[in-house]
Amino acid sequence: MTTILDYGMGNLRSVEKAIEKLGFPVCISSELPSSGKLIIPGVGAFGAAMENLRVSRDGIKDLARNGMSIFGICLGQQLLFDHSEEHGSHDGLGLIRGEVKYFSKNLGMKVPSIGWSQLEPKNGKSLMKGIKPADQVYFVHSLYTICEDESDVAAVSNYGIEFASAVQRDNVWGCQFHPEKSSSVGLRILENFLSC
């Protein structure tokens, strides 16, 4: 069973529908599961999300340490990191080393980034199994993640600068884009996680 964590910030139903379409058992819950897999979706601000996860954050870290497969989507990927500069300075879950930063206004790009962008798979990560260079996925974001360890990068995309659009460190996975809104490419990425 895959649990989609309801912590008041997520795009829950569309993720659930995508997983149901793939034929995998799924539920939405505000409680952390004791087994199976965990998805942390997210729409909103980093600081508010971490405040909402106040009661769950140690439990999520314990689940990750004990080998549960965890997948962060959009803001959920950002929460996996050590730190974010969104609206101040906020500590994250620290499951992947690195930080979350705003796109610079000096790049000459519209912020937030909304729309389809290409993926370039990296490091042979299982999250990107079957994904080809130039496959496109759907983004809505103003910030991006920087991995301290380049081996944690599963895919990069470019929006004025190259950034880690998907990450994977052992049993902790994440994507900055919305796989549930990314057609067959997104469904393949979700299936890679659900099948691991």
Residues assigned a catalytic role: 74, 178, 180
Q: Check: CB of residue 175 under 8 Å from CB of residue 128.
A: no
Distance, in Å, from the CA atom of 98 to the CA atom of 107, rounded to the nearest integer, reads 22
Residue type, 170: D
DSSP string, 96-138: EEEEEEEPPGGG---SSEEEEEE-EE-TT-GGGTTPPTT-EEE
b/e for 19-28, b at 16 or more Cβ within 10 A?
beeeebebee
Is the four-CA dihedral 68, 128, 155, 186 of positive or negative sign?
Answer: negative
Six token digits for residue 65: 């340490």
